Structure 1
Amino acid sequence: MTNKNSSVKKILLVEDDRQLSDLVSDFLESEGYHVKQEFRGDNVAKKVQQFSPDLILLDIMLPGKDGFTVCKELRPTFNGPILMLTAKGTDFDQVLGLEIGADDYVIKPVEPRVLLARVNALLRRGELPQDGNEKSELSIGQLYVNRSSRQVTLHEDSIDLTSQEFDLLWLLASRAGEVQNRDFIYKAVVGREYDGLDRSVDVRISRLRKKLHDSNETPFRIKTIWGQGYLFVPDAWN
């Protein structure tokens, strides 16, 4: 099977288990992706500069630097998706990875088709559901969001968002004043059904609030509506 995209997407696979790395690399290559392998955490930044990947598959337990450190260091300059591979299944590890900038995680061992589905979902760009009048930009008070350039400014200050943070902001802002339930958000932004346990959207909301000068304790811009979902407040951006 080959990837039908006109341009081949590039994946940097960072995994110190060389046998596993070869297996994952061969599988993703067979699906039409261009994969480069790296086996040490302290070499990742240089490899990213050289290879310019569209997505990074990042193991946590690595020689040189662990995956958490690598992810945190990459985030100021790399806006593409980071999918963490981990043998650790505790909530702490999962939430920590998301809080420092990972877009998603899978727990090893993972079925190849499950991994492929996560990769495909993270690489999907600009495919959020539209409601009739398609827009490419939004201005809400002092918040400006441009979907084509994926730029965000608040009070004329540029806000750096990851790809998944931007998609979530666009979904909420384009439906300002309407509560968006978790099931819809997970399908549209994460690319899968909400299983009742996954906390990736909660963590992403928390990161958005911090970057958009909202409060996680008493949010007034992106509110949590308990038992329902999230509400983007249209008159809170002046």
Structure 2
Amino acid sequence: MSANILIIDDDLDLAELLGEYLTSEGFSCDHAENGLIGLDKVKQHPYDLVLLDVMMPQLDGFETLKKLRQFSKMPVLMLTARGDDYDRILGLELGADDYLPKPFNHRELLARIKAILRRFEYASIQQQEAISRAGNLVIDHNTHTAHLDGEAIELTGTEYQFLSYLTQHLGQLISKETLSEEILGRRLMQYDRSIDMHISNIRRKLKADSQIQIKTVRGAGYRLVTI
């Protein structure tokens, strides 16, 4: 698997090590030492994924992600402080696709990157019906967009995949384990709240009086229903 990855991190030594490691695994890597430079690079080059550190000068990872999501749905893997739930949760709320706490094992980083790229590649070539409908929600699989009452819903790539999967399994109870494996490409880990945060983000973007709702079945998973 080959891809063009942008590393946005002010830790030059770490960025160099990551670049060398990922290059040895067949990826092309570029580096930006802060968020402002990173945003400029994203606007100029077609990267496949961004590795984004949280703690940076001038523009931290959260502000960088906010600005990035204003013009791009490019996959973002955030690198957060060890054990800092606030960083991880906030990153997902702002539209990150996944997170990895520092310090991390390089093999785990590689596995996370490959999982993200696989699911985005699969979504782009997946052969399925062009349109899925649930109540007043319309999912267009060709353009990877969602509309509610004719109005576009601004979803990240990962949020789109969650909503699309639930729509295709309308009324069915889908476990968190299934969502983690099918959408995030990894086994569900204990205390992992990433799925909860992605679902929460989607709920905020759906109208309160919408004909569709995502129901939580405590201890079991989620179900998309029409009302």
Q: What's the TM-score once normalised by structure 1's chain length? A: 0.87
Q: Select which of 74, 79, 87 maps to 1:85.
A: 79
Q: Is 1:231 the counterpart of 2:199 in the alignment?
A: no
Q: Which residue of 1 aligns with 2:99?
A: 105
Pairwise CA distance, 1:147? 1.7
Q: Select which of 66, 78, 84 maps to 2:60.
A: 66
Q: Which residue of 2 aligns with 1:145?
A: 139
Pairwise CA distance, 1:71? 0.8
Q: Select which of 27, 44, 51 maps to 1:50.
A: 44
Pairwise CA distance, 1:56? 0.7
Q: Is the 8 A contact 2:137 2:212 kept in 1?
A: no
Q: Is the 8 A contact 1:41 1:70 kept in 2?
A: yes
Cα distance between partner residues in 1 of 2:219 and 2:108: 29
Q: Which residue of 1 aligns with 2:152?
A: 158
C-alpha spacing 1:214/1:83, structure 2 compared with 1 (3 Å): farther
Pairwise CA distance, 1:126? 5.8
Q: Which residue of 2 aligns with 1:36?
A: 30
Cα distance between partner residues in 2 of 1:27 and 1:9: 14
Cα distance between partner residues in 2 of 1:23 and 1:110: 13
C-alpha spacing 1:18/1:90, structure 2 compared with 1 (3 Å): same
Aligned to 2:216, the other structure's residue is in SS state strand
Aligned to 1:138, the other structure's residue is in SS state strand
2:115 counterpart letter in structure 1: A
RMSD of Structure 2 on Structure 1 (CA): 1.9
2:98 counterpart letter in structure 1: D
Q: How many residues align structurally?
A: 222
Pairwise CA distance, 1:134? 4.2
1:223 counterpart letter in structure 2: K
1:37 counterpart letter in structure 2: H
Q: Is the 8 A contact 2:69 2:95 kept in 1?
A: yes
C-alpha spacing 1:147/1:172, structure 2 compared with 1 (3 Å): same
Unaligned runs of 5+ in 2: none
Pairwise CA distance, 1:137? 2.1
2:218 counterpart letter in structure 1: W
Question: 1:186-223 CA distances to partner (integer Å, 9 max, x unpaired)?
Answer: 001111111221001100001111112248xxx96001
Q: Which residue of 2 aligns with 1:169?
A: 163
Aligned to 2:174, the other structure's residue is in SS state strand
Cα distance between partner residues in 2 of 1:220 and 1:135: 20
Pairwise CA distance, 1:148? 2.4
1:164 counterpart letter in structure 2: T
Question: 1:86-124 CA distances to partner (integer Å, 9 max, x unpaired)?
Answer: 224221121111111111111111111100111111112
Pairwise CA distance, 1:136? 3.5
Cα distance between partner residues in 1 of 2:28 and 2:141: 27
Q: What's the TM-score once normalised by structure 2's chain length? A: 0.91
2:149 counterpart letter in structure 1: H
Unaligned runs of 5+ in 1: none
Aligned to 1:180, the other structure's residue is in SS state coil
Cα distance between partner residues in 1 of 2:96 and 2:3: 19
Cα distance between partner residues in 2 of 1:22 and 1:136: 43
Q: Is the 8 A contact 1:179 1:230 kept in 2?
A: yes
